[in-house]
Structure 1
Amino acid sequence: MTDLSAYRDAAQTSNAWPFEEARKLVARLERKGGFAKSGKDHVLFETGYGPSGLPHIGTFGEVVRTTMVRRAFETLTGGAIPTRMLVFSDDLDGMRKVPDNVPDKAALEAHLQKPLTAVPNPFGGDYPSFGHHNNAMLRRFLDTFGFDYEFASATEYYRAGRFDAVLLRAAERYDAIMDVMLPTLGAERQATYSPFLPISPTTGRVLYVPMKKVDAKAGTITFADEDGTDVTLPVTGGNVKLQWKPDFGMRWAALDVDFEMFGKDHQTNAAIYDRICAILGGMPPEHYVYELFLDELGQKISKSKGNGLTIDEWLTYAAPESLALFMFQKPREAKRLYFDVIPRAVDDYLAHLDGFERQDAKARLANPVWHIHGGAPPAPERVAAGGGNQTAARVDFALLLNLVAVANAEDKAVLWGFLQRYAPGVSPATHPRLDGLVGYAIRYFADFVKPKKVYRAPDEVERPALEALARELAALPDGATAEMIQEAVYNVARIVPRYQDFAAKGATPERPGVSNAWFNALYQILLGEERGPRFGSFAAIYGVANTVRLIEAALAGRLIAAHAAFLAARGVPPAG
């Protein structure tokens, strides 16, 4: 584990949200008389997972955010208090509907209401059930990311008797649980409600039926099975499960959970979970409620609908660290989760990583990369022009996407050719993170950027300005730096009235600033984009001579024609 002792003092006042939650957890222990008197040998962090559909990024978000709070707690306490994180799958839940995104939906209809671990696996392979398959998908990603966690299956916990003691207590305190639940239900539901859901011994389905008898002394329930016969089952041994709201509180009491976060859709039920936990002899854990993710259309993402992004889709186009950053940022604000957010997340991560080493302890604790990497982020990767004679700088995803565009690159070797001409000595071996970024940029550009590009022709002001820029760039000396190129770009625009900005910082009547309109024109005409990278940095890597040829191609109309041909070959209507 990373030594976090250097941050302990700064952690006491850090306003980063994981530290705010960790301090609440420290206060919880103090209310219990301190960890030494709590009777526990660890603090338990739990996160829940409903395997009714394929795992999605929201599920991952709970785990990564809980891990962030866990690391913050360990920092606050100097690592003196052991911690565990349990990822709990409610896989004994009955399958209430067949998800939309599974093969051969009709074959699963006969298994509705059966526990997810009793539903055949529609994907085939080595996993014996739908629940086992989805659990494995979740664990695969968590293991790939390197989370420190323990996986728990509701099916295994119920059947192994790990909840038996609290289930017997639930039978004893049945009326108290009903007093909590009934006021939250409508009249019709009240007439049939029971916190116990028996699993039919004849059909294997999870039954939503009223209880005819709850025998607390015997620890049994009696109900009418699906064929109308009365059946008596023990509440122990996996013969029954609890309704999901009582199940939350039961699990907290049985496992003595200290911290759990959940989505805003659970917020109104949190008080119910807490009351049932207390009825069953437990102390409710600290909560953290986060906002739900939305898809591109602003609708809540759903496992069963399969809208939004999957974990694998994000990782096709970006590294896991960028996804973790997306989870860290403003968790109590609703955010749209779709492909267009990926480039920004990648570049924000690189910027935070680039700045970390220059920050003091307090600022580092507010930096997302501290939380993403458990207090020990890797060193940033930078490249320097001319093999190290210039100031080293990071290469952003946005810059690579534009480099892919103008180079028409379909493999990594082409982009590395540009990078190595700009910075000799840089290679995939010396810069593995950049190498990964190059591959991501090629895939993302091909799938999402290129079809949406909209090139336009220069107008009567832009054409002579671009011609002047081509001449200025061609006159630069060999080995011109990004700063020299950028200054040439500015100088061309300063004499064009449309682009003069006399209100810019440092502007004078003799030397005006340059408005964004000039750079917007460059991006639209040369790159087919509304926004782009710092032009000097882009041209330095792409090459000054190549940039001049790019301008000439735009002036001749070849960029518009080539993109139109690309779209037509794929049957895609022109964007815009």
Structure 2
Amino acid sequence: MTDQSLPTLDLSPECVAAAQTSKAWPFEEARKLVKRIEKRDPSRPVLFETGYGPSGLPHLGTFGEVARTTMVRTAFRLLTEDKIPTRLICFSDDMDGMRKIPDNVPDKAALEPYLQMPLTVVPNPFGGEEKSFAGHNNAMLCRFLDTFGFEYEFISATDFYKSGQFDEVLLRAVERYQKIMDVMLPTLGEERQATYSPFLPISPSSGRVLYVPMKDVNAKDGTITFEDEDGTDVTLSVTGGNVKLQWKPDFGARWAALGVDFEMFGKDHGPNMAVYDKICKVLGGVAPEHYVYELFLDDKGEKISKSKGNGLSIDEWLTYAPSESLALYMFQKPRTAKKLHFDVIPKAVDEYYTFTTKFPAMPVEQQLGNPSWHIHSGSVPELDMPVPFAMLLNLVSASNAENKDVLWAFISRYAPGVTAGTHPHLDQLVGFAIRYFDDFVKPNKSFKTPDEVERAALEELDAKLAALPADADGNVIQDAVLDVARGIERYQDPKKKGPDGGPGVSVAWFSALYQLLLGQERGPRFGSFVALYGITETRALIAKALAGELNTQ
């Protein structure tokens, strides 16, 4: 169990009352749990569970389950005025056999002899303190969850089976073997039905997890008999870690053994939900409340897979952005399929800081719908972010900054009194911006060569900027930028109205500016960027663009 404690909640009558009607999805799920336990002993903890299959390195979808479940847990705590104890368990199915070798391990050939062996027996190919493949992946997951501050209990399936904590349910599964088969067989094809068993024995001769039919299931003795890989018949007790359950029965058995009240899982589990529920009931449990979320996709729109390693890892996201931005991405529209790749990071960062800085001024009803309330479990920090992440990325692009000092020189001039010491979150973002720019923006920069219309527009913009005072703010600069485009037919948008009643300015003007001056198709508000970068410095960029020098950088 982690040493993290649960954050203190605002349990004022106003806050509790607002929670009763909040439309934020964690509150909607939490209200179902409140109804579920109405007639139950209030001293019995409400158990939240997340499952993890350590067949590959943890990815952001894995983290998302814990983050989202924590959000529902916090909402439940507020709804019940924190009077009912709660637990969050992260359960790792690390006794599962390694069915295939992941693509993203250092030496695939070294793991081939361990195929079908429990993941806690497979050697750790990454080196380090952990001896097994599952141990390494479990440690990675826990390290991140601890860093983020989640309060949870980690349970290893291997420990759970071997310690005897699963014995009662396993013996019940032997007694009710036929009832389990009655649930499972209709879900299988004819060929699979002939060999199926909910029990997966660990071969005494090879150590592998065996998918074999049962020759005998003895309820009185709590044993199963099967043909081992060496051709001999073997009888094993189902207790003590000799046997594990197939993944579908295991789902329901785990719910029954632990008394799980809430679990969420991806859409790919949706078709099996009824099976899990039935198995849980057969084994004497009550199926938990479910929440089915959409799957994350990679940049090609394909499902993220731990074994393929085609999604972002936890460490990759945290190389370029704060963990809170990741939690925001998990909070937003969990039932909508979303691409999870590097391009989504800048927007997530800026949206997080926008939500957080607006939080204090909101009425309590809106605060409970603000993602930051759920990200921080009700304890939202007070933050001031004078420069957004997208702006920092453009500042790195324009200044070719390679270290924080260069960026801070611009920031301090733009916002006097703002330093790395007074704004540590901004200083952190400065480092992220340099890293993100170097790895993802710089390699793809492509400056457009101005045509005649664009040359004339840049020259007029230069003249407009020259006429402004050096300390002109972003709004004044933005007006000057818009004035240039209003007189150029190419950049007029008849669907918009300008201040004189004529056509407004189209986004094509700003797209052209970013392509001409920064080598990218889009960016933040241009006037604000110029105010940060500097009028003199922006004019120098324009001069280089007109001289064709930016393409040589």
**Which residue of structure 2 aligns with residue 468 of structure 1?**
460
1:531 aligns with 2:539: no
CA contact (8 A) 1:502 1:508 kept: no
What aligned pairs does 1:380-459 form with structure 2 within 5 A after superposition? 380-382=383-385, 394-459=386-451
1:556 aligns with 2:551: no
Provide the aligned C-alpha RMSD in A: 1.4
5 and 505 in structure 1: CA distance in 2 versus 1, 3 angstrom threshold: farther
Instruction: Return the alpha-carbon distance in structure 2 between the equivalents of residues 9 and 34 of structure 1.
Output: 23
1:201 aligns with 2:204: yes
Instruction: Return the alpha-carbon distance in structure 1 between the equivalents of residues 252 and 246 of structure 2.
Output: 10
1:82 aligns with 2:85: yes
Q: Please, which of 274, 282, 286 is the counterpart of residue 279 of structure 1?
A: 282
**Which residue of structure 1 aligns with residue 3 of structure 2?**
none
Q: Which runs of 5+ in 2 are unaligned?
A: 1-6
CA contact (8 A) 2:497 2:503 kept: no
Give the SS at the match of 1:262. strand
Instruction: Return the alpha-carbon distance in structure 1 between the equivalents of residues 121 and 495 of structure 2.
Output: 70
**Which residue of structure 2 aligns with residue 119 of structure 1?**
122
Give the superposition deviation at 1:207: 1.0
The one-letter amino acid paired with 2:11 is S
Q: Which runs of 5+ in 1 are unaligned?
A: 383-393, 563-576
Give the SS at the match of 1:88. strand
What aligned pairs does 1:206-217 form with structure 2 within 5 A after superposition? 206-217=209-220
Q: Deviations over 1:204-259 (max 9, x none)?
A: 11111111111111111111111111111111111111111000111000000000
Q: Please, which of 34, 39, 51 is the counterpart of residue 40 of structure 2?
A: 34
The one-letter amino acid paired with 1:73 is F
Instruction: Return the alpha-carbon distance in structure 1 between the equivalents of residues 511 and 101 of structure 2.
Output: 49
CA contact (8 A) 1:501 1:507 kept: no
Give the superposition deviation at 1:162: 0.4
**Which residue of structure 2 aligns with residue 508 of structure 1?**
500
**Which residue of structure 2 aligns with residue 359 of structure 1?**
362
**Which residue of structure 2 aligns with residue 102 of structure 1?**
105
The one-letter amino acid paired with 2:25 is W
The one-letter amino acid paired with 1:179 is D
The one-letter amino acid paired with 1:44 is L
Q: Deviations over 1:505-532 (max 9, x none)?
A: 56334x6533323222211111112211
485-494 or 171-180, larger mean C-alpha shift? 485-494
Q: Please, which of 307, 310, 315 is the counterpart of residue 310 of structure 2?
A: 307
Give the superposition deviation at 1:487: 1.9
**Which residue of structure 1 aligns with residue 509 of structure 2?**
518
State TM-score, norm by structure 1.
Answer: 0.92
Q: Please, which of 308, 318, 321 is the counterpart of residue 318 of structure 1?
A: 321
Q: Deviations over 1:352-394 (max 9, x none)?
A: 1222222111111221111111112211223xxxxxxxxxxx3
Q: Deviations over 1:10-54 (max 9, x none)?
A: 111111111111111111112xx1343xxx521100000000111
Q: Please, which of 167, 184, 187 is the counterpart of residue 190 of structure 2?
A: 187
Instruction: Return the alpha-carbon distance in structure 2 between the equivalents of residues 266 and 4 of structure 1.
Output: 36
Instruction: Return the alpha-carbon distance in structure 1 between the equivalents of residues 244 and 142 of structure 2.
Output: 24
Give the superposition deviation at 1:4: 2.8
356 and 179 in structure 1: CA distance in 2 versus 1, 3 angstrom threshold: same
**Which residue of structure 2 aligns with residue 3 of structure 1?**
9
Instruction: Return the alpha-carbon distance in structure 2 between the equivalents of residues 474 and 232 of structure 1.
Output: 89
Give the SS at the match of 1:117. coil
Q: Please, which of 476, 481, 485 is the counterpart of residue 473 of structure 2?
A: 481
Q: Deviations over 1:470-514 (max 9, x none)?
A: 1221222232212221222222333334334465356334x6533
CA contact (8 A) 1:293 1:301 kept: yes
The one-letter amino acid paired with 2:179 is A
Give the superposition deviation at 1:425: 1.6
The one-letter amino acid paired with 1:236 is T
Instruction: Return the alpha-carbon distance in structure 2 between the equivalents of residues 279 and 60 of structure 1.
Output: 31
79-88 or 523-532, larger mean C-alpha shift? 523-532
The one-letter amino acid paired with 2:300 is L
**Which residue of structure 1 aligns with residue 263 of structure 2?**
260
Q: Please, which of 20, 24, 28 is the counterpart of residue 20 of structure 1?
A: 28
The one-letter amino acid paired with 2:90 is V
1:43 aligns with 2:9: no
35 and 536 in structure 1: CA distance in 2 versus 1, 3 angstrom threshold: farther
Give the SS at the match of 2:368. helix
**Which residue of structure 2 aligns with residue 295 of structure 1?**
298
Instruction: Return the alpha-carbon distance in structure 2 between the equivalents of residues 464 and 68 of structure 1.
Output: 54
59-68 or 488-497, larger mean C-alpha shift? 488-497
Instruction: Return the alpha-carbon distance in structure 1 between the equivalents of residues 179 and 203 of structure 2.
Output: 25
Q: Deviations over 1:49-88 (max 9, x none)?
A: 0001111111111110101111111111111111110000
Instruction: Return the alpha-carbon distance in structure 2 between the equivalents of residues 224 and 281 of structure 1.
Output: 30
Give the superposition deviation at 1:152: 0.3
Instruction: Return the alpha-carbon distance in structure 1 between the equivalents of residues 84 and 143 of structure 2.
Output: 28
The one-letter amino acid paired with 2:295 is L
348-357 or 335-344, larger mean C-alpha shift? 348-357
Instruction: Return the alpha-carbon distance in structure 1 between the equivalents of residues 456 and 262 of structure 2.
Output: 64
Q: Deviations over 1:375-416 (max 9, x none)?
A: 12211223xxxxxxxxxxx31111111100110011111101
Instruction: Return the alpha-carbon distance in structure 1 between the equivalents of residues 296 and 242 of structure 2.
Output: 36
Q: Deviations over 1:128-180 (max 9, x none)?
A: 11111111111111111111111000000111000111111111111100100
Give the superposition deviation at 1:2: 2.1
Give the SS at the match of 2:448. coil
- Count how many residue pairs are aligned between Structure 1 and Structure 2: 545
Give the superposition deviation at 1:271: 0.4
Instruction: Return the alpha-carbon distance in structure 2 between the equivalents of residues 115 and 68 of structure 1.
Output: 32
Give the SS at the match of 1:331. coil
Instruction: Return the alpha-carbon distance in structure 2 between the equivalents of residues 412 and 346 of structure 1.
Output: 18
**Which residue of structure 1 aligns with residue 330 of structure 2?**
327
Give the SS at the match of 2:451. coil
CA contact (8 A) 2:91 2:156 kept: yes
182 and 418 in structure 1: CA distance in 2 versus 1, 3 angstrom threshold: same
**Which residue of structure 2 aligns with residue 496 of structure 1?**
488
1:226 aligns with 2:229: yes
